[in-house]
Amino acid sequence: MSYLIKNDPEIAAIVSHELLREEHELNLIASENYTSKAILEATGSILTNKYAEGYSGKRYYGGCQVVDQAELLAIERCKTLFNAQHVNVQPHAGSQANMAAYTALVKPGELIMGMSLATGGHLTHGHAVNFSGSVYRAIQYGVDLETGLLNYQAIYELADQHKPKLIIAGASAYSRIIDFEKFAQIAQQVGALLLVDMAHISGLVAAGVHPSPVPYADCVTSTTHKTLRGPRGGFILCKNNFKEAIDKAIMPGTQGGPLMHVIAAKAVCFKEALTPAFITYQQQVIKNCALLAREFINRGYVIVTGGTDNHLFIIDLRNKNITGRAAEVALEKAGISVSRSCIPGDPEKPWITSGIRIGSAAITTRGMREQECIAMVDLIDDVIKHHTDEIYLAKIKQSVLRLCDAFPIYAE
């Protein structure tokens, strides 16, 4: 009998219910994925017991000689994976990675410039309700409202007008290749540093199916749990000239004890990402995503930017007379998880939105391919058409269950 069932049956029940939910539902949330059992094992290991403030060989606690090896391995593998000069694997999450990176690169009150949340950026890229918009002064660029695309000339003009100290590139809801070389040119022209937040696309970058920001950016931040398919966490890559500042900004600047069990799991994730199978997986993520977008377009849906080059896209639902929130709720009733998403120039409030974001990373991990992608677009289309019919949604849930049962996530 498991220790969890014996000691805490309530939490044990929650864990097994969540396992069933993940097995039985279609997950199209673009920022989620399923880790390997090896990563789960490392995350659940006794390394959680160890305090290790500091860095390998320079800790503020005794007894760190074993966990030091885990952190060194994680760093070496991550360096190889992304061809980076310096790596810090201690950030607890992507937001903490960004907070530490800004701490290292700019002073409080200085001007930063990132992509607005409403057009696909992230809270930590300068939003007023986040530390990034209150500790720093922030201006925000967006996308062209007609095309949904980044307009590099407009970004340059905004940067030239305001002269930010730091430009942040990277997005949570942008379906096209980001031209990091152009961002670097803009930063250089206006005298800014460039930080790329590659959290969404780091798996694609690792596999070489999206251009890497590493040659162009002073600093690159990421999570490990999205397309990279690792444990929940973050990391920072930087040029050698920022390595002391970045390490100091993490510890003692913004974090205390690192999560050594998660760092060990990150090492496993980087090892997995260095295999040929990972490249094949990422190629399939992109194929599946393009196929999903095409099938939606064939059924009369409007896709922001007209398609996708990566693992996600945004559906503009206005011609389907349903809001993003209503679609998200109806899809959930049918066993399909998506996240509502603003569309460029969205007339609805962020809580409601006019769009949904679709991502292919998780369904691809479970082995789904062309036939399943077509089937799931049919199911989603059915939900959108019958979103107020609870009985119909319950019937669709049965079809979702059959589809999921054929592609178990954690069965041997």
Q: Is 122 a binder of ligand DSN (CB under 6 A)?
A: yes
Quote the least distance from Cβ 79 to ligand DSN, whole Å: 24
Quote the least distance from Cβ 404 to ligand DSN, whole Å: 21
CB proximity list for 31: less than 8 A, separation 6 or greater: 172, 199, 200, 223, 225, 226, 339, 359
Instruction: State how far the Cα of 228 lies from the Cα of 11, in Å rounded to an integer.
Output: 28
Measured from the CB atom, is 31 or 43 closer to ligand DSN?
31
Active site residue 51: yes
Beta bridge partners of 235: 222
- Among candidate residues 22, 23, 41, 51, the one labeled active-site is 51
Q: Is 31 a binder of ligand DSN (CB under 6 A)?
A: yes
Quote the least distance from Cβ 163 to ligand DSN, whole Å: 28
Active site residue 53: yes
Which whole-number Å values give the CA distances from 346 to 148, 317, 355, in the listed order? Answer: 11, 11, 9
Active site residue 77: no
Quote the least distance from Cβ 31 to ligand DSN, whole Å: 3
Mind spelling out the 3-state secondary structure of 44-63? Answer: CCHHHHCCCCEECCEECCCC
Measured from the CB atom, is 52 or 223 closer to ligand DSN?
223
Active site residue 197: yes
Please give the single-letter amino acid code of residue 33.
Answer: N
User: Between 324-333 and 370-385, two packed helices, what is the crossing angle to 10 degrees?
Assistant: 110
Residue in 54, 91, 94, 120 binding ligand DSN, rule: CB under 6 A: 94
Active site residue 226: yes
- Among candidate residues 165, 226, 340, 397, the one labeled active-site is 226
Active site residue 232: yes
Measured from the CB atom, is 38 or 329 closer to ligand DSN?
329
Is the separation of the CB atoms in 219 and 104 below 8 Å? yes
Task: Spell out, one character per residue from 158 to 197, where the chain touches ligand DSN: x when CB under 6 A holds, - when not.
Answer: --------------x-------------------------
- Among candidate residues 119, 223, 227, 305, the one labeled active-site is 223
Radius of gyration of the chain (CA): 21
Instruction: State how far the Cα of 403 lies from the Cα of 145, in Å rounded to an integer.
Output: 37
Site for ligand DSN in 204-263 (CB under 6 A): none
Measured from the CB atom, is 31 or 140 closer to ligand DSN?
31
Quote the least distance from Cβ 269 to ligand DSN, whole Å: 17
Is the separation of the CB atoms in 360 and 370 below 8 Å? no
- Among candidate residues 197, 295, 316, 372, the one labeled active-site is 197
Please report, to the nearest 10 degrees, the dihedral formed by the alpha carbons of residues 370, 372, 377, 382 taken in order. 150
Q: Could you say which DSSP state residue 191 is in?
A: T
Measured from the CB atom, is 52 or 336 closer to ligand DSN?
336
- Among candidate residues 79, 137, 182, 232, the one labeled active-site is 232
| Residue environment code for 11-42, b if the CB has 16+ CB neighbours within 10 A, otherwise e | ebeeeeeeeeebbebbbbbbbbbbbbeebeeb
Quote the least distance from Cβ 170 to ligand DSN, whole Å: 10
Measured from the CB atom, is 71 or 197 closer to ligand DSN?
197
Is the separation of the CB atoms in 225 and 35 below 8 Å? yes
Quote the least distance from Cβ 174 to ligand DSN, whole Å: 11
Token digits of residue 269:
């994730």
Using CB under 6 A, count the residues that bind ligand DSN: 4
Quote the least distance from Cβ 122 to ligand DSN, whole Å: 6
Measured from the CB atom, is 165 or 229 closer to ligand DSN?
229
Measured from the CB atom, is 223 or 393 closer to ligand DSN?
223
Residue 135: which of 165, 94, 159 has the closest Cα?
A: 165
Q: Is 359 a binder of ligand DSN (CB under 6 A)?
A: no
Instruction: State how far the Cα of 392 lies from the Cα of 100, in Å rounded to an integer.
Output: 48
Token digits of residue 308:
């996708």
Q: Is 378 helix (H, G, I), strand (E, B) or coil?
A: helix
Is the separation of the CB atoms in 243 and 249 below 8 Å? no
Q: How many CB atoms lie within 10 A of CB 139?
A: 16
Residue 368 phi, psi dihedral angles, 5° rounding: -75, 145
Q: Which residues lie near ligand DSN (CB under 6 A)?
A: 31, 94, 122, 172
Kindly list the catalytic residues. Answer: 51, 53, 197, 223, 226, 232
